[in-house]
Amino acid sequence: MAGMDGQNGNIQDVYDRMEIIGDARRALLERKRFNVKTQIFIANALVFVLALGVAVVLIANIYRIQRRMEFLEFANEFSIEIQQARRYEKNFFLYRTNLEDALENIHAAQAVFIANAEPFASILGRTQQQSVLRQLETYTDLLEELQEIQRKAPTRLFDAAFMGDIENRLRQNGKDMVTMAQGLMGKEKAALTRALQRSIAIHMLSLVALLVVLVINAYLLVGRIVTMLTRFSAYAQRIAAGDFTPITPRRRYRDEFTELAIAINEMIKELANREAALIQTHKMRAIGTLTAGVAHELNNPMNNIMLTAHMLMEENATLSAQERLEMLTDVADETSRAKHIVANLLDFARESAATIQTLELEKLLRDTIRLAENQVRMSGNKIELQVTDHLPAIHGDGQKLQQVFLNLILNAVDASPKGSKIQVIALPYDKAPDHVAIKVVDYGHGIPRHVLSSIFDPFFTTKAKGHGTGLGLSVSQGIVAKHGGKIVVSSEEGSGSIFTVVLPVTTFPKTIHTF
C-alpha cells in the first residue's frame, strides 16, 4: 500500500489493509511453535532430572558408606577375635593355660572371616583373601597341634626347642594377622572418611548446580516474558498514537504472545476501519456544508444564463449578429463558471485512494480557500492567503490535508462576526527546523480558556446541538499526526483564535514495509 494506514474510507484501502493484516497473520503463524508453557515445562523437567541424578549419586554413595561401615565392623570384630586369640596364645606359652580359649577365639575369627569372605574379596582381592584364610588355617593348625600334644604327650610341651619353633611360627602368624586386620581397619576408616567427604561435596555441588540452573531458567523465562511485555506496551502506545501498522514477526518462533499479537492486529483492523469511517463521515459533513454554498453560488451563473437565453428568445428577430454573438458568449462563459463552481467540490468529494505525494502548499491552500469561498462570502466575511516565498514542499495526502484546512477555515467562518476577515498564513515554523506552519487566523469570539484544552477531544463541541459533531478538530488532529505534525491553538476570548498546523517538510510517511 502506497498510502498511510487507517486514513481512508476508500474500499480499496480497506481491502489493502485487510490483506496486510492477513499477511502479518500468516507471517506470525508460519514460525515454529515454542510456547512459554513449553519453556516452563522443559526447565522444570531439567531441574527434576538434575535432582534425580543427584539423588541417585547420593543414594549410591550412602549405600557404599553403609557397606564400608559393615565391613569396618567386620574388620573390628575380626581384629578383636585375633587379638584375643593372641593374648590366650601368650598365656599358654607363659603358663600353659588358655589354649582352649585361644582356639575358641580363632574359630570365632575364622567364622567372622568366612561370613565376610565375599566383601573382603571384593575390597582387597581374592589373593589377599586366600592368603588371610591360609594364615588363619595355619594359626588354627598350629594351635590344634599344640592341643593334640597337650592331650597325648604333655611332656613335649616342655621341650624348649620344639616349643620355641611352634611359638615363633604362631607368633609370626598372629602378628601378621593382627597387622593385616589393623591395616584393613585403617584402610576402611580412610575409605569411609573419603565417602563421607564425597557425600558432603556432592550435596554442596548439587546445590550450586541447582542454583545455577534455576538462575539461568529464571533469567531466560523472565527475560522472554518481560521482553514481550515491554514490546506489547510499546505497541499499545503506538496504536494509541494512531499508528495502525500491524504487528509483524520479530522472533523465530511463535507462542502465546503470537495469539495476542494476532488479536491486536484484528483490533488494529477494526480501529483503522472505524477511524477511516470517522474521517469519511466528517468529510461528508463538510461536503454537506459546502454544498449549500455551492448551490447558492450556482444560482448566479444559472440566473445569468436564464436571463440571457430568455432575452435571446424574446429579441431574436431584432438582435444584430454582433449582439447575438455577445449574448451567446455570455451563456458559454457562465456555463464554464458554473462548471468550475461544482468541479472544486466534486474534486474534494471524490473518493480517491490515499496517496502520498509532494504537495505544493500554496496551491493546496488556494484550492482549499476556493472550496470554502462561498461559505466565507455567504457569511459576509473575507478570506486572504499569505504564503512565504520559496516555502519547502511537504509530503502527504493532499485530500486529507485539504480536509484539515477546510475544517479550520469553516470553523473560523463560524467564529467570525459578519464583516471580519479570516487569514491563512503559511510560513516556516519558528520553533523547529524543517517544519512549516500554516496558521488559520480569525478575529471572532475566541475560545474560552476553560475549554481550550478539550477542543481536540472527540465529540467536544461548542456549537448548538445539531450543528457540530465535535469531530472536526479531533479528526483533523489525527490526520495531521499521521503526517508527523500537530495542531496547536492560541486564542483570546473576544479577539479571535489562531490554529497553527505544523507539518514536517521532508517526512516520508511510514508504511508497512518499514516495520
Partner 1 sequence: MSDALEILLLDDEPIVGKRLKPALAKIGCNVEVFQDPIAAVDRIEKKSFDIVVTDIRMDEMDGMQVLERVQARSPRTKVIMITGYAMIALAREAMEKGAFDFIAKPFKPDDLRKVIAKAAEALGSSVDFSAVNENT
Closest to partner 1 by CB, 296 vs 370, is 296
Q: Closest approach of Cβ 327 to partner 1, in Å?
A: 8
Closest to partner 1 by CB, 419 vs 433, is 419
Cα–Cα distance between 412 and 301 in angstroms, integer?
27
Q: Closest approach of Cβ 479 to partner 1, in Å?
A: 29
Structural contact between residues 81 and 89, judged by C-beta atoms closer than 8 angstroms: no
Phi (first) and psi of residue 397, to 5 degrees: -95, 105
Closest to partner 1 by CB, 155 vs 318, is 318
Q: Closest approach of Cβ 339 to partner 1, in Å?
A: 16
Closest to partner 1 by CB, 293 vs 472, is 293
Q: Closest approach of Cβ 460 to partner 1, in Å?
A: 28
Cα–Cα distance between 283 and 108 in angstroms, integer?
114
Structural contact between residues 183 and 210, judged by C-beta atoms closer than 8 angstroms: no
Cα–Cα distance between 6 and 1 in angstroms, integer?
11
Cα–Cα distance list, 210 to 40, 201, 224 (Å): 16, 14, 21
Cα–Cα distance between 497 and 490 in angstroms, integer?
6
Cα–Cα distance list, 79 to 84, 92, 97, 130, 460 (Å): 8, 20, 22, 17, 104
The maximal CA–CA distance of the chain, rounded, in angstroms, is 191
DSSP 422: E
Structural contact between residues 1 and 511, judged by C-beta atoms closer than 8 angstroms: yes
Structural contact between residues 248 and 511, judged by C-beta atoms closer than 8 angstroms: no
Closest to partner 1 by CB, 315 vs 360, is 315
Cα–Cα distance between 180 and 75 in angstroms, integer?
10
Closest to partner 1 by CB, 127 vs 316, is 316
Q: Closest approach of Cβ 309 to partner 1, in Å?
A: 9
Q: Closest approach of Cβ 295 to partner 1, in Å?
A: 5
Question: Which residue, 288, 282, 236, is CA-closest to 477?
Answer: 282
> Which residues make up the interface to partner 1 (CB under 8 A)?
292-293, 295-300, 302-308, 310-311, 313-318, 327, 330, 334, 377-378, 380
Q: Closest approach of Cβ 444 to partner 1, in Å?
A: 19
Q: Which residues contact 304 (CB under 8 A, 6 or more apart)?
A: 330, 334
Cα–Cα distance between 380 and 390 in angstroms, integer?
32
Closest to partner 1 by CB, 127 vs 318, is 318
Q: Closest approach of Cβ 300 to partner 1, in Å?
A: 5
Closest to partner 1 by CB, 258 vs 289, is 289
| β-bridge partners, 102 | none
Residue bearing cell 475566541: 446
Cα–Cα distance between 479 and 30 in angstroms, integer?
34
Query: How many residues make up the chain in this entry?
Result: 515
Cα–Cα distance list, 115 to 25, 33, 45, 107, 510 (Å): 77, 62, 45, 12, 89
Q: Closest approach of Cβ 296 to partner 1, in Å?
A: 4
Closest to partner 1 by CB, 115 vs 325, is 325
Q: Closest approach of Cβ 465 to partner 1, in Å?
A: 19
Closest to partner 1 by CB, 83 vs 304, is 304
